[in-house]
Amino acid sequence: MKIRIVLADDHKIILDGLHSLLEKNPAYDVVGSATDGLTAVRLFRESGADLAIIDVTMPGLNGIEATRRILEESPKARVIVLSMHADGRYIAEALKSGASAYLLKESAFQELSAAIPEVLAGRTFLSRSITDIVVKDYLRHLERQGPGVFSVLSPREREVLQLLAEGLSTKEIAARLSISAKTVETRRAQIMEKLDIHSVAELTKYAIREGITSL
């Protein structure tokens, strides 16, 4: 069965180019083309398409809002967003809206053939030139959240925390790490002071939340 695709872009030359590119692949069937977001949503609904390829900037309803509406109506659908903007805010909003891929228009024709199979398989695809932007934005987000366990605790303290969270006794931790029981107790006190956590149960929750250990 062919993959049914709806295209949306307010630039006819890009719309025609995408249509021509996709129709060359016998696995794809372009079932609708739109030049505004509202029409794209309607066409997607009426055609029962599998995939939408949508420009961010369109009249009536922008691509990000159109993506939200399409996925509200068809949760199993996939959306690839096209944009001229290599801006972290646009990328973040597109992904938050549910888009599976974000492609820059300058490279969309080259990258689309790789992006479609990825998103249909349930994976996320980003243009190569914007992955660095995404990583830097993510790191800035982490900095705003404040220091995490890997910067607050020393490597040895993280080891002790993990073993505490996994239910080992002081003696068992001492044997595992080849240190004295007293040293384990000192490390535990230091961990609790640094984290302002004062029970093993809360330490365990913290360790799971921070990815030090799992349930």
pLDDT for the residue 141: 61
CA–CA gap between residue 118 and residue 60 (Å, rounded): 30
Which CATH number does the domain 149-209 belong to among 3.30.9.10, 3.90.470.10, 1.20.1250.20, 1.10.10.10?
1.10.10.10
CATH number of 3-142: 3.40.50.2300
pLDDT for the residue 23: 92
CA-wise closest residue to 47 among 30, 68, 60: 30
pLDDT for the residue 81: 96
Q: Is the dihedral of CA 68, 42, 80, 60 positive or negative?
A: negative
Its pTM stands at 0.67
pLDDT band with cut points at 50, 70 and 90 for residue 187 = very high
Whether 149-209 and 3-142 are alike in CATH topology: the answer is: no
Q: For residues 88 and 137, is the Cβ–Cβ distance under 8 A?
A: yes
Does residue 140 have a pLDDT over 70?
no
Provide the mean pLDDT of the chain.
89
Across 193-203, average pLDDT: 90
What is the 3-class SS of 85-117, one letter each residue?
CCCHHHHHHHHHCCCCEEEEHHHHHHHHHHHHH
Kindly report, residue by residue over 39-95, the tens digit of the pLDDT: 999 999 999 999 999 999 888 899 999 999 999 999 999 999 999 888 777 888 899
Domain boundaries of the chain, sorted by first residue: 3-142, 149-209
Length of the chain: 215
Q: Which residues pair with 75 in a beta bridge?
A: none
70-84, 134-148, 190-204: least confident range = 134-148
98: left (phi over 0), alpha (psi -120 to 50) or beta: left
Element (H, E) at 21: helix 12-23
